[in-house]
Amino acid sequence: MASQASLLLQKQLKDLCKNPVDGFSAGLVDETNIFEWSVTIIGPPDTLYEGGFFNAVMTFPSNYPNSPPTVKFTSEIWHPNVYPDGRVCISILHPPGDDPNGYELASERWTPVHTVESIVLSIISMLSSPNDESPANVEAAKEWRDRRDDFKKKVSRLKGCYSLYLIKTCKNQRLTSS
């Protein structure tokens, strides 16, 4: 018998297939595991990430939607709200309830009404408006604040590596500090 979580995820996948949303595509990493999704986010227009294609994996807990999924970029990305290992750090992916550190309101954190679509749209919004006040990547946040031109160069170099046109030529290029 299918769990509530797997039934809900099947419905959300079916809805996204029937009604695709601009800015991203989503599907299963493996057809036998509804709890692990592959997502490709297109860099939003009029941002530093425009023209890039960024891959991520969303991993859902067995008690979804009561607990949030984790989202981890598999494409290298330079952003204040993405840990160096690719994990996305945005409020709606934090467990429900009060923030023990006092940075977020309970209303900003995970609630079971969120869907795959709302999560990915929040990540796209994060790409458009980095939050350097509570960074996951301190170095990226410092560069965003203090050396914006260097930040732009790194983002541009990396997004080029993951665009459809340049993926072969940049395959082995890695982020290096300037």
The catalytic residue positions are 89
**36 beta partners:** 59
Are the CB atoms for 134 and 55 separated by under 8 Å? no
3 vs 10, 15, 61, CA distance in Å? 11, 18, 12
